[in-house]
Amino acid sequence: MTALQQLFAQLVKAIATSANAIFDKSFETKSFDGRPWKARKHGNRGSLLVDSGALRRSLKYSISGNTITWTSNLPYAKIHNDGGYIKITPKMRKFFWHMYYTCTKKIKLGKKGQVLKASLVHSKDAEFWKAMALLANRKVGSYIKIPRRRFIGNSREVDAKVKKIMDAFVKKLSDAIARQAKARAKS
């Protein structure tokens, strides 16, 4: 690898590292490019995208030549970053009811194993899951809108950081060329 290729590889690595830090910061500030994430409608456990930290930890980048690619192995990463619609399926409806019953406390069962409605203690999370389950019961095959909560992509902050790194790279390169020209002139 030539000196120029090494310098270019360092440039791409510096850009990737800096952009990655900006994307990671999105989870701390709960915003991207100065735009706060849409608040969670239900539940009291803080921001949806930092609930468990799994999405944040799943983001990885790879460098191939002069290309930097970020990926996540989580299937919901794209829908949260870009927003969109997801179709309600019978499996989702079952999941919503499961989450509702998981969030309720002191569930008492009747003689036939049925949940006694009077025994349910409702939390905000339980109310959310119940609302989702009831929506799914009425409208299987319809869609739920997932708001855009961008955490990765093009932004003014990334552009400014890349420009700063590129300017330093150009200066370093021009200084190296000037030193080489000066050394050649002396010999």
The 10s digit of each residue's pLDDT in 90-139 is: 888 888 888 888 877 656 667 776 766 655 556 677 777 888 888 766 66
- How far apart, in whole angstroms, are the C-alpha atoms of residue 109 and residue 132? 23
What does residue 128 show for φ and ψ, rounded to 5 degrees?
Answer: -60, -50
Token representation of residue 66: 């002069």
- Domain residue ranges of the chain, discontinuous segments joined by +: 1-81+148-187, 84-146
What does residue 17 show for φ and ψ, rounded to 5 degrees?
Answer: -65, -45
Token representation of residue 13: 């690595």
Lowest average pLDDT, out of 16-30, 60-74, 89-103, 122-136, goes to 122-136
51 contacts: CB under 8 Å, gap ≥ 6: 45
% the chain with pLDDT above 90: 35
Confidence check: pLDDT of 83 > 90: yes
* Mean pLDDT over the full length of the chain: 83
Confidence check: pLDDT of 166 > 90: yes
The whole model's pTM is what?
0.71
